[in-house]
Structure 1
């Protein structure tokens, strides 16, 4: 039995809570996972898992082994990374979760460069605007924007971007350009359902909040983009969402003398397990990509 592989299998079982979920993530059959755990328990002469109708949980001995195994796997990954020269030559599969629109505009176009640098590495990109369970989905890192709901999350800030009130010139010509936040109450707002209907602005230390209304409410950022570009209304969005349109003038900023909170881009790693070398490397790559964008015309 491969001791390292057995440790990795056990760690995955503990983190997913079942043999079947661990088998899916490891791309092996469930019987193989069960056999590996049984062999490991036989070698160690202890019971590592409690089995019940509610699933699997580590015994006291299993929890101690799990904590040490996580450290051993991390150190082995880092040793391999160092031996290969600061991350070159990574192999295997990297699973990344990201918001659909942000990934389409700012991540996917740069993947050829990353893949060329690591020809033996494959990437699964899960495009979803919702928060997903990183451990259950076997995700190495998630790219998320805004405030983190989980204060205990293992996260690294990669970039900070602006937010603006945006509309197309055609909409502004038809509806008029707002001169103050209060004017937004008279406009059709394109509302992103994951954000509040009250928009807050600051200027010279003063804060103003405006309740906006709109006939169009969308659950995904991609829909917000489409509605704005169809001249359906005015919205608040990160400048990242309309990078090219802001550069070409297809979308304009209004109320530029009022300030909105900045938005942060985070790399979030699965809670309860060490960040993989592949995940850390990809986070650094995204950080570099976003920094390069600030130096160009992309409006970051």
Structure 2
């Protein structure tokens, strides 16, 4: 019985997919199928039902899966303790993050992480699509949004704060809004992603509910940095996360904050920045330490909000 076959079997059981397993281990799908067929032959039992639509565990596969998973986790923990006690964590960690946030903040955090742990290899994927970490083989996923019961385990880094801004040139031509409803008369630059064009929500500090303002304007984009460039050129008012805005743009007079007496958001519920991981991954000391490092690097509140 080969250790590699056991790892392939456990991943297929988790993902329900030979292709996802092959992608995770970076091997051909035919290799995954061959190793698992060999495992079933060694055990004398069929472990998986296979069809063109799905892969699922047989009754024997269910029983074997529980014990095999425990055995592999114990083996991995023993290897980590043996290899990482003095030299620190090592090996591969796959991290997924939203594109702009990952480029502006997580990439630098990864540089610091690898300075601290030279034996660590990081695979950083950036996408604005909400991935399934199990299907995609991600160890740690950074998500921005409302908390959901996703079956993932993790930590909240902090609130996802947003600010309403415009350039002085725009305000000189169109005036400064004094209340959220005034934005209906302004040119607004709106993010449009997979869920459609954003709505803007406002509430007074301490209020439980928000009111929505259906803004519109001359530019919609699925790229926040394109909207920021348009705002700097005086094209309109924009609602941006604080992690995207350079604090120096206020000091240099390039942007002006608006409606500071209101809390603004692109979601009805308070969004958070979260570090998430499949529960099985958190049994690994390596994953736990990387998550702790990222949380400490960003801080609480996040470093970009400390002087905001």
- Aligned Cα RMSD in Å? 2.9
- Relative distance call for 1:64 and 1:253 in structure 2 (3 A) is farther
Contact 2:10/2:65, CA 8 A, preserved across alignment: yes
Deviation digits for residues 125-145 of structure 1 (CA, Å, limit 9, x no counterpart): 221112123222211121111
Do residues 213 (structure 1) and 216 (structure 2) align?
Answer: yes
| Count of residues paired in the alignment | 297
Aligned partner of 1:255 among 255, 259, 262: 259
Structure 1 residue 10 displacement after superposition: 0.7
Contact 1:90/1:120, CA 8 A, preserved across alignment: yes
- Provide the rounded CA distance (Å) in 2 between the counterparts of 1:284 and 1:228: 36
Q: Which runs of no fewer than 5 residues in structure 1 stay unpaired?
A: none
Structure 1 residue 69 displacement after superposition: 3.1
Structure 1 residue 148 displacement after superposition: 3.7
Structure 1 residue 214 displacement after superposition: 1.4
**Which segment drifts farther, 8-17 or 199-208?**
199-208
- Provide the rounded CA distance (Å) in 2 between the counterparts of 1:243 and 1:74: 44
1:103-252 alignment, distance < 5 Å: 103-194=102-193, 196-203=198-205, 205=207, 208-245=211-248, 248-249=251-252, 250-252=254-256
Structure 1 residue 52 displacement after superposition: 2.0
Give TM-score, length-normalised by structure 2. Answer: 0.83
- Provide the rounded CA distance (Å) in 2 between the counterparts of 1:80 and 1:284: 20
- Relative distance call for 1:284 and 1:247 in structure 2 (3 A) is farther
**Which segment drifts farther, 192-201 or 57-66?**
192-201
- Could you say which residue in structure 2 is the equivalent of 1:48? 47
Give TM-score, length-normalised by structure 1. Answer: 0.85
Structure 1 residue 102 displacement after superposition: 0.8
Q: Which runs of no fewer than 5 residues in structure 2 stay unpaired?
A: none
- Could you say which residue in structure 1 is the equivalent of 2:288? 280
- Could you say which residue in structure 2 is the equivalent of 1:73? 72
Q: Any runs of at least 4 consecutive aligned residues in structure 1 with deviations exceeding 6 A, and if so which?
A: none
Deviation digits for residues 41-74 of structure 1 (CA, Å, limit 9, x no counterpart): 2332221111223242211221232233334333
Structure 1 residue 8 displacement after superposition: 1.4
Contact 1:81/1:87, CA 8 A, preserved across alignment: no
